[in-house]
């Protein structure tokens, strides 16, 4: 028997080794195997170099590329060389440092500001190298709150620049949410003396109350088709998940637990609403069919007290906050499983690329917004508006 095994090993091992070699050769030729390990939180960034850019344009390019999984290195160490200039207008190109071939042909940009031009160039770079659409020209909404608790809702570029207050409530405000494809937000404001949900069209300035029932009205989340809202209402006696039409008609209660439920979000196919609740005295994430039905737990193994779920636009992941003494940003497969703990922070919101998150993190008892690339764990803070900036929401439309 031993002999037979030894014989087999003698025969099989060389073939096995040959296969390994064959596999790698073929892979390099035909399917272009990545030299990086593509695991959330452990992926190596793609090294690129920047030559010829200065000032705001250089800042924008560095920021945009860093939070989409690139590292900035010297030209000798770069896989791709990005070169050009930002005098007058932004112009640039990308060259593969190994093959010396053009990855992105020379191009120049004309638009209102150098920052805008640089964001557009960053998007072209990301698309040329990764094949994925960049996030350089996207927007976020968030709340900025002073020490006395009063705050306003703001909208800015995703890197925090060009921030504008969209409310003048001087009241507690919370949970801004974008209406897909529209320059419009839903949010909570205590301005009427109660936490009520508002709709605010940022193009026309039109604002109206969507939900002003007794008790809690908060955490509006718009369905991917823009037609329905999920939210938390306590009108029936406990903070539960409800849905209604985008115009605030046809309210339907989806959950009926006596627990304090919070932070509903939609699956990108519009079929499910994920939220935070308590089941059997434990804090969990759960989901309920958007049309009503059984509540199902979403396991988040390895972490406790999950809240603030946000479903990735590609449907694969749910990002959330775990509350374990400190706050951690975690990601779990959308069906549940083992959670990957990424960085400290709260309230993650996915970018349209399903790869970058915006979140708020504690900096000496103050909340600061940060942008995180979940694959490489590269993270950068963005400028603070006031005492506390928090609850960021990334506009999902491109």
Partner 1 sequence: MKTIKLIYPLACMLAVTLGTTGCHNHQVGKVTALPNSNPGTIGEIPPGTISSAPPMNNPGETPGSIPLASPDTFDNMTEDRAALAAYTIHFAFDSAAIKSGEQASLQSVAAALSADANAKLLIEGNCDERGTEEYNRSLGERRALAAREALAKDGVDPSRVRTISYGKDRPTDPDHDAAAWSKNRRDDFVLLHPKAGM
Residue pair 47/77 in contact (Cβ under 8 Å)? The answer is: yes
Identify which of residues 86 and 346 has a Cβ nearer to partner 1 in the complex: 346
Q: How far is the CB of 389 from partner 1 (least distance, A)?
A: 12
Nearest in space to 264 (alpha carbons), one of 295, 308, 330: 308
Nearer to partner 1, 110 or 236 (CB): 236
Q: Which is nearer to partner 1, 233 or 395 (CB)?
A: 233
φ, ψ for residue 349, nearest 5 deg: -135, 125
Q: C-alpha 340: how far from its chain's center?
A: 15
Q: Smallest distance from the beta carbon of 224 to partner 1, in angstroms?
A: 21
According to DSSP, the β-strands at 367-373 and 300-301 are unpaired
| Nearer residue to partner 1 within complex by CB, 134 or 309 | 309
Q: Report in angstroms how near the CB of residue 115 gets to partner 1 at its nearest.
A: 30
| Min CB(162)–partner 1 separation in Å | 25
Between 134 and 306, whose beta carbon lies closer to partner 1? 306
Question: Which is nearer to partner 1, 92 or 348 (by Cβ)?
Answer: 348
Phi-psi region of 14 (alpha: psi -120 to 50; beta: other; left: phi over 0): alpha
**8 Å CB contact between 262 and 275:** yes
Q: Is 17 exposed, middle or buried (0-12, 13-18, 19+ CB in 10 A)?
A: exposed
Nearest-5° Cα angle at 85, 79 to 87: 160
Q: What Rg, from alpha-carbon coordinates, does the chain have?
A: 24
């Amino acid at each position: 028997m031993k002999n037979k095994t030894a014989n087999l090993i003698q025969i099989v091992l060389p073939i096995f080794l040959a296969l390994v070699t064959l596999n790698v050769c073929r892979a390099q030729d035909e399917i272009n195997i990545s030299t990086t390990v593509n695991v959330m939180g452990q992926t190596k960034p793609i090294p690129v170099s920047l030559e010829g850019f200065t000032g705001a344009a250089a800042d924008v390019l560095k920021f945009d590329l860093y939070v989409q999984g690139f590292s900035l290195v010297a030209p000798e160490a770069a896989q791709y060389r990005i070169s050009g200039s930002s005098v007058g207008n932004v112009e640039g190109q990308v060259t593969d440092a190994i093959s010396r071939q053009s990855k992105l042909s020379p191009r120049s940009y004309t638009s209102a500001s150098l920052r805008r031009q640089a964001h557009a160039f960053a998007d072209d770079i990301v698309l040329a190298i990764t094949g994925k659409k960049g996030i350089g020209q996207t927007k976020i909404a968030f709340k900025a709150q002073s020490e006395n608790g009063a705050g306003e809702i703001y909208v800015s570029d995703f890197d925090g620049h060009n921030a504008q207050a969209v409310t003048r409530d001087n009241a507690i405000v919370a949970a801004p949410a974008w209406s897909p494809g529209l320059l419009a937000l839903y949010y909570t404001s205590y301005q009427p003396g109660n936490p009520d949900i508002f709709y605010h069209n940022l193009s026309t300035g039109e604002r109206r109350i969507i939900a002003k029932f007794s008790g809690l009205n908060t955490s509006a989340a718009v369905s991917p088709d823009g037609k329905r809202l999920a939210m938390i209402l306590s009108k029936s006696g406990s903070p539960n998940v409800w849905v209604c039409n985008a115009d605030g008609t046809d309210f339907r209660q989806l959950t009926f637990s006596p627990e304090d439920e919070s932070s509903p979000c939609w699956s990108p196919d519009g079929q499910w609403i994920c939220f935070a609740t308590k089941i059997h005295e434990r804090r969990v994430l759960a989901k309920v069919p958007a049309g009503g039905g059984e509540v199902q737990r979403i396991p988040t193994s390895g972490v406790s007290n999950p809240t603030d779920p946000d479903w990735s636009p590609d449907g694969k992941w749910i990002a959330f906050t775990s509350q374990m003494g400190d706050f951690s940003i975690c990601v779990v497969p959308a069906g549940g499983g083992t959670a990957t703990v990424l960085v400290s922070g709260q309230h993650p919101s996915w970018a349209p690329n399903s790869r970058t998150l915006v979140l708020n993190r504690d900096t000496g008892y103050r909340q600061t917004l940060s942008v995180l690339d979940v694959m490489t764990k590269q993270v950068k803070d963005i400028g603070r508006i006031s005492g506390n900036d928090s609850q960021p929401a990334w506009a999902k439309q491109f």
